[in-house]
Amino acid sequence: MDAESIEHKLKACGLVEITDSHFIIDMMYARRENIADLPVYKQIGLGNRAFAHPQVIEKMLSLIPELEMLNLKLRICDAYRPPLAHILLTQQVPLPGLFAENYQLSNHCHGTAVDVCLTDLNGNNLDFPTEIDAYTPEIAQALHQGNPTPLRENLIRARHDYQGASPTALNNRKLLKELMISHGFEPIPHEWWHYNLQNFEDYPVITI
């Protein structure tokens, strides 16, 4: 399916594209530099475009005044994830606990979740305990050589209760969490970058 057809289908299903300049769109699964080493979104035609449920968009736009006061931007590294992309990712990285076992259980496939981090006004990421998705090139290389240990260790650092990072990284994680929660998002314990609407099961899975 081409990009125009995908856009039409997603908008017909009620999703909205995130385009405001306060947000840096950098969809990690649109490029090869991710834990799956696969540009899944590019392959299926979505590319580097972020769509989400209108309630997600509304809550994100409400963040803008505070981002401006803090001289920060928000980098969006994942939003709506097509079920086909989710299936491809789980096949490429069959590591229990990394992705939802079934796309029906993934907030992203419902259009109700975003993966985000804070940046400065020049788009440089602030320090956090890990990269988003716990990714590094070395971890991805080890994983695809059959060694999941470095990824498992980094996923421990990705938890909200991990305290072994630098004070700056911990403070940035806390700031992001406070911002997102105060604007109606819900965190999950094991990924500092992931925020979603409550009761995502109330929203249908969107297929393209």
pTM, entire model: 0.94
Q: What is the pLDDT of residue 188?
A: 96
pLDDT mean over 162-182: 98
Q: Rounded mean pLDDT of the chain?
A: 93
CA distances to 17, 64, 106 from 48, in Å: 11, 22, 20
Question: What confidence tens digit (pLDDT) does each residue in 51-68 have?
Answer: 999 999 999 999 999 999
Is a pLDDT exceeding 90 seen at residue 201?
no
pLDDT band at 96 (very low <50, low <70, confident <90, very high): confident
Q: Which residue has the tokens 């400065």?
A: 120
Q: What is the pLDDT of residue 167?
A: 98
pLDDT more than 70, % of the chain:
100
pLDDT more than 90, % of the chain:
77
The span from the CA of 167 to the CA of 39, in Å, is 33
pLDDT mean over 130-143: 90
Token pair of 202, please?
């109330």
pLDDT band at 14 (very low <50, low <70, confident <90, very high): very high
Is a pLDDT exceeding 80 seen at residue 1?
no
Token pair of 150, please?
């470095």
Is a pLDDT exceeding 80 seen at residue 152?
yes
The span from the CA of 124 to the CA of 118, in Å, is 8
Could you tell me how many residues make up the chain?
208
pLDDT band at 173 (very low <50, low <70, confident <90, very high): very high
- Contact by Cβ (8 Å): 161, 129: no
Question: What confidence tens digit (pLDDT) does each residue in 17-48 have?
Answer: 999 999 999 999 999 999 888 999 999 999 99
- Contact by Cβ (8 Å): 75, 126: no
Question: What confidence tens digit (pLDDT) does each residue in 178-197 have?
Answer: 999 999 999 999 999 999 99
Higher pLDDT, 159 or 95: 159
Strands 72-78, 113-120: pairing is: antiparallel
Q: Which residue has the tokens 């856009």?
A: 7
pLDDT mean over 81-105: 87
pLDDT mean over 117-123: 98
Closest CA to 76 of 51, 109, 110: 51
The span from the CA of 49 to the CA of 58, in Å, is 17
- Contact by Cβ (8 Å): 107, 37: no
Could you tell me the domains of the chain? 3-201 (3.30.1380.10)
Beta-carbon contacts of 177 under 8 Å, excluding residues fewer than 6 positions away, are 160, 187, 192
